[in-house]
Structure 1
Amino acid sequence: MSSVFGRTPSGATRRRVIGFSLAAGGAAALAACSDDGGTEIDVEAQSKGAMENFAADMQFTATEPFTLSVLWTDWPDLPITDQWQFFKEVEKRTNVKMEVTNIPFSDATEKRSLLISAGDAPTVIPLVYTGDESSFVSSGAILPMSDYVEHMPNFQKYVEEWDLGDMVNNLKQADGKYYMLPGLQEVSVPVFTVVIRKDVFEEVGAGVPQTWDEMRAALVKIKEKYPDSKPLADGFEGASMLNYASHAWGARAGWGFGNGMVDDGSGKLEYTAVTEGYKQMVEFFRGLVEDGLLDTDSMTAANDGSGGGSVTEKVAGNLVFAASGSPGTAIEFQQALNETVGEGNHEVVVIPPPGGPAGQIVEPRNFWNGFMLNAEIADSENFVAILQFLDWLYYNQEARELIRWGVLDETYTKDASGKITLKPEFSLNAYNINPGAPTDIQRDLGWSNAVFADSSESRALKESYNSPTFVEYVEAVLSSRTPRDPNPPAPLDEAELESSSLMATPLKDTVDTNTLKFILGERDIAEWDDYVGELEAQGLQQYVDLINTARERFEEENS
């Protein structure tokens, strides 16, 4: 049995700076003096191409053109081409030409690490999630972004307007600085949750489950109606379902396991996988397996058919009626059901993650993917202009709309209410918009590309390309669920990072293996204490003490 419990394709607000002058008299304003004591920029030497008085919501256009190197992850089903309108239009508007270094999606993390470690990384390193940067801090290979955000007015504006200041503060490493800038989300809802056949749930008189107990009761009724089914499935080797379900028990699991630490209620941290809440979660899912309500293949195999038929195929065949997924998964289920039960004969919806003993809570508000910068760029004559360009690209709202939809009145229209409509000759097949139109704005033009599009978003932009059911899902989560408090930050110094990695990996391997063994019935839950003892023998207490020491230090330094 194998398991890949990976991560999903997620303080004081800084002083808002509206703009600055590059004139000699404005030199003091240009110095990047962050709240943590930033690094000064040589105004005359490093402002080539920068705009004077650059401000939030302003179109960035370099006063002199320059080329910027970017690390680009290639998706196997979305081949990149330098003829994409995306590259041409961004260059036309900004005077910045992107020069890409390509790495394959299949081993993007490893390739990225090798390039950074060898000093060969491009200037901009996108698709970075919080925590990815930690291993590169001590080497000095990446730039401390907190030293320079004074020159990024869009970033600062939306951190403030969307109340993300405390979350940004928690990005700090042990030295008090943060080294990546994340994608900012005006609203944050779990991307993966339960996708259900609402028509079937209503057919058996269950309705939409609000808690896991209600989900179980509904699954029992569905099993009675469809005895050959195992009505609940994951399809992501167990990692997705345990991720979004764990919060209902006050635990962390699956994709969201992270360093494994949770607040014990007294300000200290404890290891989630030995808590009573984690045990109760395991017992709940074990009960589903015992009663034939959970598809066991989907807990050990990806949704690709390798487990004896994919989850999508089982949904289409009336063997699964609820499964882990995202809005994209819901579309796949709908398309498959159109072929089997017929269009109009089913209703697939995405529902808020069910609640549980810990309450109607979901994962903490999340950042989305952002970027790091190669530290060598700090000496560039275009340094200020690069900061301005990236501030525009990642955080300016017009830029975000451009990257998602293309050129206004060319690929899409926008009415007085702000509603966006893709023109009929264009499709966005990834979101089932205008299927069959001759030109896909993603595949053929490069808009909605996975490197830049899925980063910073307002709520309106997020809802503009998603289905009506997803818009309803967002509203349902925001109105009926409470985000969990953020995971307590405990940044480690270089020596602690090395020690923790040596301990964390074998501990997590033991957790992953035994979590599935317990759930699948391959290990009796009566052996729980033995399992805890095995973790203790691997140095669990030493690991917990290490993280708690880092946590206490962070609190003292940021109180």
Structure 2
Amino acid sequence: MIRDLTSRSRRPWRAAAAAVGASSLLFLAACSGDAAGDGAELENTEGSMTDFAADQQFKATEPLDLSILWTDWPDLPIKDSWRIFDEIAKRTNVTLEPTNIPFSDATEKRSLLISAGDAPEIIPLVYTGEDAPFVSSGAVLPMSDYVDLMPNFQKYVEEWDLGDMIDNLRQDDGKYYMVPGLQEVSVPVFSMIIRKDVFDEVGAKTPETWDELRDALVKIKAKHPESSPLADGFEGQSMLNYAAHAFGTVGGWGFGNGTFWDEDAGEFTYAATSDGYKEMVEYFHGLVEDGLLDPESLTTTSDGSTDELSEKVANSAVFAASGAAGTVEEFRTALKAADPDAEFELVQIAPPGGSAGQVVEPRNFWHGFMLSAEAKDSPHFVAMVQFLDWLYYSPDAREMLRWGIEGETYTKDADGIITIDPDYSLDAFNINPDGKTDLQKDLGFSTFLAEATESRALKESYNSDQFVEYMDTVLATRTPRDPFPPAPLDDTELEQASLLATPLKDTVDTNTLKFILGDRPLSEWDAYVTELEGQNLQGYLDLVNGAQQRFVEKN
């Protein structure tokens, strides 16, 4: 187990088992399709290992240069001096040649490169569903055809019970074109952070439901009448995201394409017209109306920073707010800056339950990678896939990507406890802040590549003990909502759906905020639904349900 580091604290978070048995292995084998069938790909074996296996060090049998698309964060531009690339080359005989794109418009630039056939061989930082626009053109490879070359991927899909989730990645042709980062355990990254000392002060317990939260906020408001005790800080998108599941719907960041699977009816409905969505909107409207929810926190444009919200927390204007593990430390820093002698207790709590139960978001994948179509013609194609299987799914590679070089930047004892070397820091998580060399900024470790696949132990290694407690609470007391069945659209349908979905979502976003803030009376809910219907909502649902039915028939 990997736990407990020296000088552990965090900076703000940035911009997510039992074996499944023979059936999942059969599925994976079936999806490997042509990779071993016609032998064409297996001719491209330069540099590959003939006996590559799970949990084995990959090392190309001859030096290889592989191109990769690299996203530069605004405060973390790639450096030629980064040790991560030297360490990868030392271990694998592979030199990565990055093509850089800025984070600000990474998705657009990536799409342009792929569509023009100019993308590097390796395309990382791809989330589930982002492969869909490139399927019909053949611009990226169907990765399901090549998972027989990926023993680490297959092993951890089985061990972490992810087979059904992998099945849901398939596009209309029954194949999937990206392989995701795998998470041994999955809990909501964003939830609610409370000043537990203040809740205790007014006699309110840690809320398990949204109704209990309201009762607590009323007590806090009575004690601190100048406050608006609850806030979001992310334009409402965070709070609506983690609240929606408890009301039996989706919202905020998790709204997606707006559809929600109705198990009883056996079809997709539109979430934002449902009784559950209306109940959620009414709940938050009531909080605003009674001065319990800060309306500014629902409208202030957020760039990922919570400085304004931290100031309100520090000034005792807010006592509960949305955030991730790093936000806890941001609030703590602000409170200490305001009063170095202040005593307080900040706790990230499990998302409250509601009328739909103690339900949270479905178990999730994290970002993975695609391969450009041109990669298939490379003489070292097999070695490339083996290398990526090691890089993305091998425990040794994952530990290196997060912590650097064992014996130099960190040590690990017999119990698996990692301790960072005193000369090094990891400022992104405020670990060992007195270290002279930062693992991330100076050496290139703990970048986006480190996030993709994580065991529970690795996730715990850089998170605070309080976040570990949060994970334990969510896993023990909350139920992940079942994922919706696949409904992959073909190329023509994707275009049609986009033209319909965008104005529908704009109407939803605008009116959700108006209803909550009281700028539109809730008595006009039916009129709002009629407006959505007038934007051809039924035509949109017909597209999605038709795709779902077709997928079932074909697969």
TM-score by length of 2: 0.93
Q: How does 1:298-337 map to 2 (within 5 A)?
A: 298-303=297-302, 310-337=308-335
1:257-288: per-residue Cα shift (whole Å, max 9, x none)? 11111121222111100000000000000000
Which residue of structure 2 lines up, in the alignment, with residue 201 of structure 1? 199
1:348-368: per-residue Cα shift (whole Å, max 9, x none)? 111111110000010000000
CA separation of 1:127 and 1:35: change in aligned 2, threshold 3 A: closer
1:315-347: per-residue Cα shift (whole Å, max 9, x none)? 111111111111111111111111113366111
Deviation at 1:207, TM superposition (A): 2.1
Which residue of structure 1 lines up, in the alignment, with residue 149 of structure 2? 151
Gaps of 5+ in 1: 1-7, 18-31
1:468 aligns with 2:465: yes
Q: How does 1:480-495 map to 2 (within 5 A)?
A: 480-495=477-492
Q: Which has the higher contact order (CA 8 A, sep 6+)?
A: 2
Which residue of structure 2 lines up, in the alignment, with residue 29 of structure 1? none
Which residue of structure 2 lines up, in the alignment, with residue 166 of structure 1? 164
Question: Is contact 2:232–2:239 with CA below 8 Å preserved after alignment?
Answer: yes
Of 418-427 and 286-295, deviating more is: 418-427
CA separation of 1:89 and 1:344: change in aligned 2, threshold 3 A: farther
Q: Find the aligned partners of 1:541 and 1:485 in 2 and give their Cα distance.
A: 24
Instruction: Select which of 447, 450, 461 maps to 1:453.
Output: 450
Q: Find the aligned partners of 1:87 and 1:373 in 2 and give their Cα distance.
A: 20
Which residue of structure 1 lines up, in the alignment, with residue 398 of structure 2? 400
Question: Is contact 2:247–2:356 with CA below 8 Å preserved after alignment?
Answer: yes
Matched residue of 1:14: which SS? helix
Q: Find the aligned partners of 2:302 and 2:331 in 1 and give their Cα distance.
A: 12
Question: Is contact 2:233–2:297 with CA below 8 Å preserved after alignment?
Answer: yes
Deviation at 1:16, TM superposition (A): 9.2
Query: Matched residues, percent identical?
Result: 64
Q: Find the aligned partners of 1:344 and 1:478 in 2 and give their Cα distance.
A: 32
Question: Is contact 2:127–2:367 with CA below 8 Å preserved after alignment?
Answer: yes
Matched residue of 1:372: which SS? strand
Which residue of structure 2 lines up, in the alignment, with residue 548 of structure 1? 545
1:9 aligns with 2:6: no
Q: Find the aligned partners of 1:304 and 1:391 in 2 and give their Cα distance.
A: 34
What number of residue pairs does the alignment pair up? 535
Question: Is contact 1:33–1:148 with CA below 8 Å preserved after alignment?
Answer: no
Question: Is contact 1:67–1:97 with CA below 8 Å preserved after alignment?
Answer: yes
Which residue of structure 1 lines up, in the alignment, with residue 521 of structure 2? 524
Question: Is contact 1:201–1:207 with CA below 8 Å preserved after alignment?
Answer: yes
CA separation of 1:16 and 1:271: change in aligned 2, threshold 3 A: closer
CA separation of 1:348 and 1:306: change in aligned 2, threshold 3 A: closer
Deviation at 1:488, TM superposition (A): 2.2
Which residue of structure 1 lines up, in the alignment, with residue 178 of structure 2? 180
Q: How does 1:57-76 map to 2 (within 5 A)?
A: 57-76=55-74
Q: Find the aligned partners of 1:183 and 1:81 in 2 and give their Cα distance.
A: 25
Matched residue of 1:13: which SS? helix
Question: Is contact 1:316–1:340 with CA below 8 Å preserved after alignment?
Answer: yes
Q: Find the aligned partners of 1:391 and 1:343 in 2 and give their Cα distance.
A: 50
Q: Find the aligned partners of 1:406 and 1:306 in 2 and give their Cα distance.
A: 28
Question: Is contact 2:33–2:146 with CA below 8 Å preserved after alignment?
Answer: no
CA separation of 1:182 and 1:381: change in aligned 2, threshold 3 A: same
CA separation of 1:133 and 1:304: change in aligned 2, threshold 3 A: closer
Q: Find the aligned partners of 1:37 and 1:88 in 2 and give their Cα distance.
A: 34
Which residue of structure 2 lines up, in the alignment, with residue 23 of structure 1? none
**Structural RMSD (CA):** 1.8
Deviation at 1:33, TM superposition (A): 6.6
1:99-150: per-residue Cα shift (whole Å, max 9, x none)? 1111111111111111111111111111111111111111110110000011
- Counterpart amino acid of 1:438? K
Deviation at 1:440, TM superposition (A): 1.1
1:289 aligns with 2:300: no
Which residue of structure 1 lines up, in the alignment, with residue 416 of structure 2? 418
- Counterpart amino acid of 2:522? I
1:510 aligns with 2:521: no
Question: Is contact 1:328–1:430 with CA below 8 Å preserved after alignment?
Answer: no
Matched residue of 1:424: which SS? coil
TM-score by length of 1: 0.93
Q: Find the aligned partners of 1:116 and 1:370 in 2 and give their Cα distance.
A: 16
Q: Find the aligned partners of 1:138 and 1:55 in 2 and give their Cα distance.
A: 33
Which residue of structure 1 lines up, in the alignment, with residue 11 of structure 2? none
Q: How does 1:8-27 map to 2 (within 5 A)?
A: 9-10=15-16, 12-15=23-26
Matched residue of 1:394: which SS? helix
Deviation at 1:42, TM superposition (A): 3.1
Q: Find the aligned partners of 1:304 and 1:540 in 2 and give their Cα distance.
A: 31
- Counterpart amino acid of 2:451? D
Gaps of 5+ in 2: 1-13
CA separation of 1:305 and 1:515: change in aligned 2, threshold 3 A: same
Matched residue of 2:98: which SS? strand
Which residue of structure 1 lines up, in the alignment, with residue 3 of structure 2? none
Which residue of structure 1 lines up, in the alignment, with residue 278 of structure 2? 279
1:348 aligns with 2:359: no
Q: Find the aligned partners of 2:249 and 2:55 in 1 and give their Cα distance.
A: 40
Question: Is contact 2:15–2:304 with CA below 8 Å preserved after alignment?
Answer: no
Deviation at 1:471, TM superposition (A): 0.4
Which residue of structure 2 lines up, in the alignment, with residue 269 of structure 1? 268
Which residue of structure 1 lines up, in the alignment, with residue 4 of structure 2? none
Q: Find the aligned partners of 2:313 and 2:438 in 1 and give their Cα distance.
A: 28
Deviation at 1:426, TM superposition (A): 1.1
Question: Is contact 2:32–2:148 with CA below 8 Å preserved after alignment?
Answer: no
Q: Find the aligned partners of 2:248 and 2:341 in 1 and give their Cα distance.
A: 40
Question: Is contact 1:14–1:35 with CA below 8 Å preserved after alignment?
Answer: no
Of 273-282 and 221-230, deviating more is: 221-230
Which residue of structure 2 lines up, in the alignment, with residue 498 of structure 1? 495
Which residue of structure 1 lines up, in the alignment, with residue 218 of structure 2? 220
Deviation at 1:72, TM superposition (A): 0.7
Q: Find the aligned partners of 2:178 and 2:244 in 1 and give their Cα distance.
A: 28
Q: Find the aligned partners of 2:190 and 2:44 in 1 and give their Cα distance.
A: 43
